[in-house]
Chains A and B, each alone.
Chain A
Amino acid sequence: MPSAKSQAAASAKNPGWIAKHRNGAWYTVVLILVVAVVAGGVSAVAHYALTDPFKESDVALEEAKVGAKRTLIFPDSKSWEAVSAPAVDGLNKVWKSDAGDYCFDVQSDGYHGSVELMVGISKDGKVAGIQIISENETEGIGTNALTDDYFATYKDLEADGTLTVEDAQSGQTHVDGVSGATFTSKAVAADVSIAIEAYAQVGGK
């Protein structure tokens, strides 16, 4: 009866096909390709099967992100409900709190793409605060117009008319821009103006 040792010696002398070829170039290439296709296929099937749960989690994520911004502007508000957004260029979404305050998700063009802000307008018809949702402005230059200090200059402005960093015409209110960040300053003023226009259309002033 052949012993285990002699069987091992025999298999060492006559290795299988895989053992003979597994260090070869073609075997390596084909194996990697097959594994890559299988791994990609499994990932694709899993992604397809989870389409509905992903949609729900995306909604929850969006709400978590903007919810945090709303709380920063109106810390005392307990609940918010989404309101049908009027057809205003640059307006994304509108929320109304239990206390009658509004938050507007607005965007306009900055220096590098869109500057999206959350603008809060209180039930008294005044700008309550501004938070950044997304921006892509130049660090240290454009972002100087996206600081809390600059946003504070808009606080308590009447939500009426439009805002401009240039010389104010009739129906416009002048706001200071940030030197060296003109495009971004204009984007912030435009965003707040969009929020004011939307506020008028949802039943504000």
Chain B
Amino acid sequence: MAMNPNVVREADERTAALVHSPAFLTVAGALPGLYVATTLENGVAIGVAAAVSIIVSAVLARALSGVTGLFSKAPVVLVLDAMVLILLGFALRVTFPVIFEALGIYLPITSVAGAAAVFAAQDGLTTGAGSKELTLADAVFAAVAACVALVVCGLLGELLGSASVAGVSVGALSSYTISIFGKPTGDLLLLALVAVVVQAVCGRGKDGAAEKEGER
């Protein structure tokens, strides 16, 4: 028996509202690189990689929209994004080999961040006539949010987990390290905190704009 189209439409609208939220974009962009964001240096490196991945995916999705179809868009954008990140990894290997060694396989895996952002720009699981491309403004927002999230996770994870910042020991905290940080569990907690802050800040911005419009 076919679903009532109104029920389907409401479900799609709820999905679209979820995946278009700033918190979702932040989490989707930061999650693939979270495992290696264990120190400030690694957080900055993988954050930059995630930002590059998201912006490259947005540009590629637009540029290739005339050539790719419903089922080929995601894999084509993912493969080309992964190629860009592999080349970025080569450059990192030549200039900062220690950081490259620390990031390892997670550098090309971060191309998933870009694919997730492109997916989030569409209406979640519905890729029909209502789907749209990721705008450059949204891509820049997602890139900055993912980069900041990973840098914060790296900084706080290193500070709280090993009482040091960028390898420099913070003597006052050395007796109060929390072992959960610097591990994936602690990083997920930090990412959740960053996502909540992002949602609160962006939500406040939208509420402010609505107040200015006034009642209708």
Contacts and interface: CB of A to CB of B under 8 A. Distances in A.
Interface of A: 18-19, 22-24, 27-28, 31-32, 35-36, 39, 42-43, 46-47, 50, 53-54, 56-58, 60-61, 64-65
B122 interface: no
Given A22-B67, A22-B68, A39-B83, A31 B76 contact: yes
Given A18-B67, A43-B83, A64-B98, A32 B75 contact: yes
Given A35-B80, A42-B83, A46-B90, A27 B97 contact: no
B183 to A, nearest CB: 13
Contacts of B172: none
A22 B69 contact: yes
Contact of A57 (B72, B75, B93): B93
B215 to A, nearest CB: 39
B13 interface: no
A64 B97 contact: yes
Nearest to A30: B72
Given A23-B70, A36-B79, A46-B86, 6 more contacts: A32-B72, A43-B83, A43-B86, A54-B93, A57-B100, A61-B101
B41 to A, nearest CB: 13
Nearest to A58: B97
Contacts of B69: 22-24, 27-28
A71 to B, nearest CB: 12
B108 to A, nearest CB: 9
Contacts of A60: 97
Interface string B90-120: 1001100110110000000000000000000
Interface of B: 66-72, 75-76, 79-80, 82-83, 86-87, 90, 93-94, 97-98, 100-101
6 contacts: A28-B71, A31-B67, A31-B68, A32-B72, A35-B75, A39-B83
Contact of B94 (A36, A43, A50): A50
Of all A-B residue pairs in the complex, the 4 with the closest CB atoms, nearest first, are A22-B69, A39-B83, A61-B97, A23-B69
A23 B71 contact: yes
A72 B86 CA distance: 34
Contacts of A43: 83, 86-87
B166 to A, nearest CB: 15
Given A22-B72, A35-B80, A50 B90 contact: yes
